[in-house]
Each structure stands twice: as C-alpha cells, then as structure tokens.
C-alpha cells in the first residue's frame, strides 16, 4: 500500500478519482500511525512519571541531609558544669 500527500488525496477526492478502497487504505494507514504515536506518548508519559518520582526522592534526600547538617549535634567532649 502506498500513501500520498494529504493534498493529493483531497484533490483526488474533490475530482471524484479517489476510490473507496483507496480511501479505506489511507484511513487504515492513519489509524496505524495514530496507534504508533499513542504508544510512543504512553511510553514517554511513563518515563516522565518514573523520572519525576526519582527526582522527588532525590530532592527529599538532599533536603533531609541539609536539615541534619543545620541542626546542632550534641558535643560529647563538652562537660556540663553544675553548681
């Protein structure tokens, strides 16, 4: 099956030279293309979701490490004086 530029198809349609079988072939080709593109979109959406989850975990981990460094840690070498 060969497909043509959409302008040629529209011209053939308006001239009455596009057969029903040929039109069905083009429709079939369009559906196949649409399905392939939808599969790619689904794959990319899944990849973005996975990457976003990983990024969120990394940011959370970095934030927690940053908070640990900011909070004062007890110094075991300092002796408390009592009166």
In a domain, 49, yes or no: yes
Number of domains in the chain: 1
Tens-place pLDDT, residues 28-71: 988 999 999 999 999 999 999 999 999 999 999 888 888 887 76
Angle between helices 6-15 and 20-70 (to 10 degrees): 150
The 3-state DSSP composition of the chain as helix, strand, coil percent (nearest 5) reads 75, 0, 25
In a domain, 74, yes or no: no
Residue range(s) defining the domain that contains residue 47: 6-63
User: At 54, phi and psi to the nearest 5?
Assistant: -65, -40
pLDDT band for position 75 (cuts 50, 70, 90): low
Of 30, 32, 29, 7, nearest in space to 18 by CA: 7
Assigned token pair, 54: 């990983």
Tens-place pLDDT, residues 19-28: 889 889 888 9
In a domain, 79, yes or no: no
Structure pTM? 0.59
In a domain, 75, yes or no: no
In a domain, 83, yes or no: no
The pLDDT assigned to 80 comes to: 60
């Amino acid at each position: 099956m060969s497909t043509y530029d959409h302008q040629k198809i529209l011209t053939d349609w308006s001239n009455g030279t596009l057969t029903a079988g040929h039109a069905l072939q083009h429709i079939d080709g369009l559906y196949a293309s649409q399905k392939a593109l939808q599969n790619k979109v689904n794959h990319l959406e899944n990849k973005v979701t996975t990457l976003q989850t990983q990024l969120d975990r990394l940011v959370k981990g970095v934030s927690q490490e940053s908070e640990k460094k900011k909070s004062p840690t007890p110094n075991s070498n300092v002796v408390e004086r009592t009166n």
